[in-house]
Amino acid sequence: MTNNNVEKMIIVGSGPAGFTAALYTARANLNPLLITGNEIGGQVAITYEVENYPGFPEGLTGPEMVEKFQKQAEKFGARIEYDYVSSVDFTQHPFTVSTASGKEYRAESVIISTGATPRKLGVPGEKEYTGFGVSYCGTCDGFFFRGKDVIVVGGGDSALEEGLFLTKFANKVTVVHRRDELRASKILQDRAASNPKMDYKWSHVVERINASGGNGNGTPAKVVSATLRDLKTNEVYDFPVDGVFIFIGHTPNSELFRGQLEIDEAGYVITDKRMHTSVHGVFAGGEIQDSVFRQVVTSAGQGAAAAMEAEKFLGELEAQSYHEILAEHGLAVPVLA
Ligand code: NAP
């Protein structure tokens, strides 16, 4: 279904960057349309507690934060559409944004804030037993591991933060890390060190995840162990566990933009310091373009910056045509790669 109206501003994605862009562009009277994606709120929606967002000294849960972001953007007139963007065409202006439900929008300006997805280990058993003991979200699944033993894979902030959360339920949480030094922040390392339920397997990797049942006889699969390799001794052994929680970083959700925008080797959409992508009039903020900071507050800041630049671009567009603007900035008309 093609909507013949040309939207001024479409925002793709509903994490902190997307909602902040919606708030800013709504307050600038640009009547933004935000298309949420499959999971409203993105990664913050599955975060147990956010305690480092300024202005909330008591902390708040991820879902509470998403609710507040949405409420504040809607208060100023942002429109929220629960749909998934399936393709875009940035080669012609106005740009085209098509959704999984069959809608086709045209937009003068687009802000991309599609975020990132948890990275996979790629070992046997991981895919098969996801949901049967393998998880990427302690906040979502921790409850099912009351009194059980689990491992957490990774050595970053996510591994420790989620591992600490899991100690509320689990009997024991063993961090399996490929090096003998964590990259997590000092405060989390200190908290983990003083938690008696936390344990470590240093210089270890997971080679396989093993389960019982799930073989068609009516018994659901259930993780029973992880096959670990000690990288120092090369010893391989089965470590009995009920759950495997994987926190080894993220992959940016940029497939949609391949061939349309410049993307780096790791898959991040490339922006300049003013959040402009390689196509004039298309901006990006949050984890889709930030492989370094990845905080709620930095993503929100990048969403605000993208919105302010988009507002400036739309101002230019009122005075001259898109092609005149490109000529003025010495930019080429976007072409498909
Ligand atoms: P990360 O910092 O990239 O850490 C990923 C961890 O997984 C690293 O320890 C890495 O090992 C390990 N790893 C990567 N690939 C692996 C593989 N194939 N097999 C085994 N281990 C593997 O990711 P993150 O913890 O998700 O954090 C991402 C960003 O979000 C960071 O900037 C972090 O500070 C931020 N964050 C902040 C908070 C907070 O402030 N409360 C909470 C969560 C996340 P190596 O160390 O050997 O590379």
Residue 85 tokens, joined? 């963007």
Per-residue confidence (pLDDT) for residue 202, from 0 to 100 = 98
List C-alpha distances in Å: 9 to 56, 239, 266, 312: 30, 52, 28, 12
Task: Read off the pLDDT of residues 195-233 as tens digits, 9 standing for 90 and up.
Answer: 999 999 999 999 999 999 877 667 788 999 999 999 999
Per-residue confidence (pLDDT) for residue 337, from 0 to 100 = 42
**Is residue 335 situated within a structural domain?**
no
Give the integer Cα–Cα distance in Å for 95 and 90: 5
Atom of ligand 1 nearest to the CA of 160: 25
Within 10 Å of residue 190's Cβ, how many Cβ atoms?
11
Report DSSP letters for 186-222, one per residue: HHHHHHHHT-TTEEEETTEEEEEEEEE--SSSSPPPE
Q: Does the beta carbon of 247 lie inside 6 Å of ligand 1? A: yes
Q: Does the beta carbon of 159 lie inside 6 Å of ligand 1? A: yes
Q: How many domains are there within the chain?
A: 2
Q: Are residues 231 and 266 in the same domain?
A: no
Is 141 catalytic? The answer is yes
pTM comes to 0.81
Q: Are residues 13 and 108 in the same domain?
A: yes
Cβ(166)–Cβ(150) under 8 Å? yes
**Is residue 324 situated within a structural domain?**
yes
Of 271, 290, 267, give the one whose Cα is nearest residue 280: 271
Instruction: Kindly report the backbone phi and psi dihedral angles of residue 269, in degrees, each rounded to the nearest multiple of 5, phi listed first.
Output: -70, 130
Q: Among the three residues 246, 278, 297, which one is the final residue of a domain in this structure?
A: 246
Per-residue confidence (pLDDT) for residue 332, from 0 to 100 = 77
Atom of ligand 1 nearest to the CA of 188: 41
Q: Are residues 241 and 322 in the same domain?
A: no
Beta bridge partners of 249: none
Structural domain boundaries, residue 88: 7-117+250-329
Residue 295 tokens, joined? 């905080």
Q: Say how many Å lie between the CA of residue 256 and the centre of ligand 1.
A: 25
Helix (H, G, I), strand (E, B) or coil at 99: strand
**Is residue 258 situated within a structural domain?**
yes
Please list the alpha-helical segments (H only) found in 211-276: none
Q: Are residues 129 and 223 in the same domain?
A: yes
Q: Whose CA is nearest to atom 45 of ligand 1?
A: 155
Q: Are residues 69 and 135 in the same domain?
A: no
**Is residue 2 situated within a structural domain?**
no
Q: Whose CA is nearest to atom 7 of ligand 1?
A: 248
Give the integer Cα–Cα distance in Å for 50 and 59: 5
DSSP 8-class letter at 276: B
Helix (H, G, I), strand (E, B) or coil at 83: coil
Q: Does the beta carbon of 161 lie inside 6 Å of ligand 1? A: yes
Region for residue 220 given its phi and psi (left: phi exceeds 0; alpha: psi -120 to 50; beta: otherwise): beta
Is 149 catalytic? The answer is no
Q: Does the beta carbon of 157 lie inside 6 Å of ligand 1? A: yes
Cβ(176)–Cβ(204) under 8 Å? yes
Q: Does the beta carbon of 188 lie inside 6 Å of ligand 1? A: no
**Is residue 337 situated within a structural domain?**
no
Q: Among the three residues 214, 246, 278, which one is the final residue of a domain in this structure?
A: 246
Q: Whose CA is nearest to atom 36 of ligand 1?
A: 157
Q: Are residues 28 and 135 in the same domain?
A: no
Q: Are residues 141 and 33 in the same domain?
A: no
Tens digit of each residue's pLDDT, the chain (337 residues) = 555 689 999 999 999 999 999 999 999 999 999 999 998 999 888 777 788 899 999 999 889 999 999 999 999 999 999 999 999 999 999 999 999 999 999 999 999 999 998 899 999 999 999 888 999 888 778 988 999 999 999 999 999 999 999 999 999 999 999 999 999 999 999 999 999 999 999 999 999 999 998 776 677 889 999 999 999 999 999 999 999 999 999 999 999 999 999 999 999 999 999 999 999 999 999 999 998 888 899 999 999 999 999 999 999 999 999 999 999 888 877 654 4
Identified catalytic residue from 137, 157, 242, 290:
137
Cβ(225)–Cβ(210) under 8 Å? yes
Beta bridge partners of 175: 152, 200
Q: Among the three residues 192, 215, 246, which one is the final residue of a domain in this structure?
A: 246
Q: Are residues 270 and 202 in the same domain?
A: no
Cβ(308)–Cβ(317) under 8 Å? no
- Chain centre to alpha carbon of residue 175: 22
Pairing of strands 149-153, 172-176: parallel
Atom of ligand 1 nearest to the CA of 183: 46
Per-residue confidence (pLDDT) for residue 220, from 0 to 100 = 80
CA atoms within 13 A on the CB side of 126: 14
Residue 282 tokens, joined? 């298309």
Q: What is the CATH number of the domain that holds 161?
A: 3.50.50.60
All residues at 6 or more sequence positions from 146 whose CB lies less than 8 Å from its CB, including other chains: 169, 170
- CB burial of residue 168 (10 Å; 0-12, 13-18, 19+): middle
Of 32, 48, 45, give the one whose Cα is nearest residue 105: 32
Q: Are residues 183 and 203 in the same domain?
A: yes
Is 230 catalytic? The answer is no
Identified catalytic residue from 140, 180, 190, 264:
140
